[in-house]
């Protein structure tokens, strides 16, 4: 996420979120709900907030070809990491 956007401001005001995943045919879906914690933004490319973004990237995509560049972009873009604790899941499977 990026600091300064409506989504980020709304989560800072009310730290609850829902994430919906829908099947490609649109007939099955699941929603996860829970409280969130926002980490960042940072002014320091080597700060703990950027470390959290690096950890997220590594878990999702592996190694980045240029970590110094990645860290610099995370600071200049004012990136924020959202961590959600899932408390409730519901959905429907049709077909």
Predicted TM-score (pTM) of this structure: 0.85
Q: Is 84 helix (H, G, I), strand (E, B) or coil?
A: strand
Q: Are residues 9 and 35 in the same domain?
A: yes
**Domain assignment of residue 93, given as a range:** 1-39+83-95
Confidence of residue 95 (pLDDT cuts 50, 70, 90): low
Are 22 and 34 in a shared domain?
yes
Residues 63 and 88 in one domain: no
Q: So what's the pLDDT on residue 94?
A: 76
Same domain, 56 and 88: no
Tokens 């600071």 appear where?
75
Q: Residue 93 has what pLDDT?
A: 85
CA 24 to chain centre: 22
Residues 45 and 72 in one domain: yes
7: pLDDT strictly greater than 90: yes
Asked whether 38 and 11 are in contact (CB, 8 A), the reply is: yes
Asked if 72 and 33 touch (Cβ cutoff 8 Å), the reply is no
Which residues are CB-neighbours of 67 under 8 A, at least 6 positions away? 54
Express each pLDDT in 9-65 by its tens digit: 999 999 999 999 999 988 899 999 999 999 999 999 999 999 999 999 999 999 999
């Amino acid at each position: 996420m990026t600091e300064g956007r409506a989504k980020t401001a709304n989560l800072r005001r009310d730290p609850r979120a829902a994430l919906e995943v829908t099947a490609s045919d649109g007939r099955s879906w699941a929603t996860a709900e829970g409280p969130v914690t926002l980490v960042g933004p940072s002014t320091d490319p080597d700060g703990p907030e950027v470390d959290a973004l690096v950890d997220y990237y590594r878990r999702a995509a592996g190694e980045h070809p240029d970590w110094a560049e990645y860290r610099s972009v995370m600071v200049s873009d004012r990136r924020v990491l959202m961590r959600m604790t899932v408390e409730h899941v519901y959905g429907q499977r049709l077909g």
